[in-house]
Amino acid sequence: MSADQTNVDTFTIQIDGQPVAVQAGQTVLGAARQLGLDIPTLCYLEKCGPLNSCLVCLVKINGRLVPSCGTQVQPGMAVESETSEVHEARRTALELLFSDHVGDCLSPCNRLCPLGLNIPLMLRQIQAGHHAEASATLRGTLPLGGVLGRLCHHPCEQGCRRGHWDDPAGIRNLERFVSDWDSGRISPEATVPGETRTPGEGRDAASRPAPAPINPLCKPATGKSVMIIGAGPSGLAAAYYLTRQGHRVTVAHRQARAGGSLRAVPEADLPAAVLDAEIALLAKLGVTFQAGVTLGDEVTVEALSREADAVLLAVGKLDPQQAARLGVPVAGGLVRSDPNTCKTPLGKVFATGAATREVRQLVRAMGEGRAAAECVHRFLTSQAVRRPEKVFSSVMGRLDPGELRQFLASASAGHGVSPCDRCAGLSRPEAVAEASRCLHCDCRSSGNCVLQHYAQAYGADANRFRAERKGFEQFPQPSGVIFEPGKCILCGICVKLTEIAREPLGLTFIGRGFDVRVAAPLDRTIQDGLQKVAEECVRHCPTGALVFADDGNLASQST
């Protein structure tokens, strides 16, 4: 239909039945992108031309799967892109790549954190003295950082790989350090050994502008309002996440002061001043608090749901009489709600926290609040309501001693600060020392990694193919580049970039078949190979195979 209607140079092709005007010589990938289709690519970089190695950009043309990045449009072409068959092929390509991918996207501590704090990043920032950035990382992910830094049962530390060697990194204490630092509770006296510091001079990290708690950015206002009943851990956490999504949040609570069960914690464990400061931060973020509101006689759920676009019950553990007066269906002393959507049987009323299920730990209660916030947010933005998806992560599993030693090589030796529940918190030198014990076993590319991105988008199962894992290898270069061959998907971009730039040595493929690897020629180092285009290669590496060691230190990646 299209071949005869136009001249030689421009014509129309069909992608999934949609016509798209193209020019001769253009690729199918380019045409699809014109239509706004997000065909995944890993090995495609315009400058390099089609490398046709990753094959995740497959489309179906004339009954055959072909890589769209290397296929030129032809008049009359009919392309299938977003079909289940094509998606399955792309997913398989991703899964095959993961079956030979050595490395964790997220460190175990990050994966174990119910709130998903990027701990290694925060620790790198502390270690480098970039405390403001560390604060941004903390405050950008955690509500009530100062509280968690004192009370969290720190599942992160149980998973810490450093713990397989001596002691886990003291993550909770470091959280507390960051929140104390940004709230001005850390004495500025102590310096880090080796640090020359002129008091009052803004030359080094310790003496940057006076610290202040950093409130993360919120998305533009949506115009939707949410009423949260209850100002305990779940309610406050939900308030934090919903506010950041741009919704107008009001937290109504029975007591005079917000905090719910946190108010019952002894002063020695959680000073009231710290809690007050954290709640003040939430207010500063935009959360409105209404004290002295009790559900029941005067205030009914029904009335609230008329006023707000959504209602979230986070009233904490119910006593029997209270349950009866709530005005929502209750079963077995718990508010009835769908665990997958947090929805109660009443239209726009959601419920979370100890009111709906038994929650033992603080951070889990806050995790529940976060999940409920996601459900409410999706409800308000007319998306399918569900709990947040786990961030995709390739999982390397247990390390053998040799692998562990490679990680240890870049960390400082020595045991951790003795875990003290009631101690006064870490001083700055102590914090820097503790942070430098981190093995940085996360992937510095996580969040920017194209492979991870599409794995998440395509629902890839990183463990579909059980296979013997290759050993983890890490080659830190003096230039600051880290090369981790196990994460290399052999896309060939860096090889091509060095060729284009006429690097004296460059990089090349070594070997053949399954054992192919990227390396510098003649047994030289990666650094030798990357004398001109290291930065470009790191920037275009679709995974975390080539990264800068200090990537992410200077600016927080969290949003």
Partner 1 sequence: MNAGSPFALPTLAPTPQREPLPAVDLAFVDESINRCGRKPDATIPLLQALQDHYGYLPREALERICRQTEITPAAISGVASFYDMFRHEPVGKHIVRVCRGTACHVTGADRVEEALRRYLGIAPGHDTDPGGQYTIEQVACLGCCTLAPVVRVGDHTFGYTASEKVPGIMDDFHKAHANGGEERSTEELLPAGTGKAQIRIGLGSCCIAKGSDDIFHTLQDAVKETGADVEIKRVGCVGMCHRTPMIEIAEPGKAPSFYAGLAPEAARELVLERFRWVGWRHRLSRVWTRALNFALEEAEHEPAEQSRMDTRAPEVSAFLGRQVHIATEQFGEVDPLNLDEYVNHGGFASLARCLETHDGEGHTLHRFRQGQPAGETSADRSPLTPPQVIDIIDRAGLRGRGGAGFPTAAKWRLARQQTSPEKYVICNGDEGDPGAFMDRMLLESFPYRLIEGLAIAAVAVGAHEGIFYIRHEYPLAVKRIRAALKICQQRGMLGDRLLGTDYPLRLTIKEGAGAFVCGEETALIASIEGERGMPRLRPPFPAQEGLWGKPTIINNVETLAMIPWILRHGADAFAAYGTRTSKGTKVFALAGNVRRGGLIEIPMGTTLREIVEEIGGGVQPGRRFKAVQVGGPSGGCVPARLADTPVDFESLREVGAIMGSGGLVVLDDSACMVDIARYFLQFTQNQSCGKCTFCRVGTRRMLDILDRLCTGRGQKNDLSELERLAAQVGAGSLCGLGKTAPNPVITTLRYFRDEYEAHLKGRCPAGKCTALIQYFVTDHCTGCTLCAQHCPVDAIPVTPYVRHVIDINKCTRCNTCYQVCPHDAIEVK
Measured from the CB of residue 518, what is the shortest distance to partner 1 in angstroms? Answer: 10
109 CB-contact burial (10 Å; exposed 0-12 / middle 13-18 / buried 19+): buried
Measured from the CB of residue 11, what is the shortest distance to partner 1 in angstroms? Answer: 17
DSSP notation for 301-329:
HHHHHHHSSEEEE---SPPHHHHHHS-S-
Measured from the CB of residue 231, what is the shortest distance to partner 1 in angstroms? Answer: 50
Return the number of the residue (57 or 160) whose C-beta is nearest partner 1.
Answer: 57
Angle at CA 135, nearest 5°, toward 455 and 169? 70
Beta pairing, strands 349-351 & 334-335: unpaired
Contact criterion met (CB below 8 Å) for 152 and 174: no
Return the number of the residue (93 or 148) whose C-beta is nearest partner 1.
Answer: 93
Contact criterion met (CB below 8 Å) for 91 and 78: no
Distance from C-alpha of 452 to C-alpha of 442, rounded to nearest angstrom: 13
Measured from the CB of residue 217, what is the shortest distance to partner 1 in angstroms? Answer: 38
Contact criterion met (CB below 8 Å) for 530 and 537: yes
Return the number of the residue (74 or 255) whose C-beta is nearest partner 1.
Answer: 74
The 3-state DSSP composition of the chain as helix, strand, coil percent (nearest 5) reads: 35, 10, 50
Angle at CA 153, nearest 5°, toward 150 and 154? 90
Measured from the CB of residue 88, what is the shortest distance to partner 1 in angstroms? Answer: 8
The tokens describing 218, both together, are 């919120």
Return the number of the residue (49 or 402) whose C-beta is nearest partner 1.
Answer: 49
* Cα maximum dimension of the chain: 82
Contact criterion met (CB below 8 Å) for 166 and 411: no
Return the number of the residue (326 or 495) whose C-beta is nearest partner 1.
Answer: 495
Measured from the CB of residue 9, what is the shortest distance to partner 1 in angstroms? Answer: 18
Distance from C-alpha of 397 to C-alpha of 300, rounded to nearest angstrom: 50
Return the number of the residue (45 or 56) whose C-beta is nearest partner 1.
Answer: 56
Binding site for partner 1 (CB under 8 A): 50, 52-56, 58, 64-67, 70-72, 88-89, 92-93, 96-97, 99-100, 465-468, 489-490, 495, 498-499, 502-516, 519, 521-525, 528-529, 531
**Nearest Cα to 347, choosing from 402, 306, 388?**
306
Distance from C-alpha of 451 to C-alpha of 462, rounded to nearest angstrom: 11
Measured from the CB of residue 550, what is the shortest distance to partner 1 in angstroms? Answer: 25
Residue with tokens 């409410």: 376
Return the number of the residue (297 or 523) whose C-beta is nearest partner 1.
Answer: 523
Measured from the CB of residue 92, what is the shortest distance to partner 1 in angstroms? Answer: 5
Q: For 256-300, give the secondary structure using H, E and C.
A: CCCCHHHHHCCCCCCCHHHHHHHHHHHHHHCCEEECCCCECCCEC
Return the number of the residue (102 or 237) whose C-beta is nearest partner 1.
Answer: 102
- Put residue 388 in one of left, alpha, beta given phi > 0 → left and psi -120 to 50 → alpha: beta
Measured from the CB of residue 463, what is the shortest distance to partner 1 in angstroms? Answer: 12
DSSP-derived secondary structure letter, 468: P
Return the number of the residue (63 or 266) whose C-beta is nearest partner 1.
Answer: 63
Return the number of the residue (409 or 516) whose C-beta is nearest partner 1.
Answer: 516
Measured from the CB of residue 539, what is the shortest distance to partner 1 in angstroms? Answer: 20
Contact criterion met (CB below 8 Å) for 222 and 229: no
Return the number of the residue (36 or 513) whose C-beta is nearest partner 1.
Answer: 513
Measured from the CB of residue 211, what is the shortest distance to partner 1 in angstroms? Answer: 45
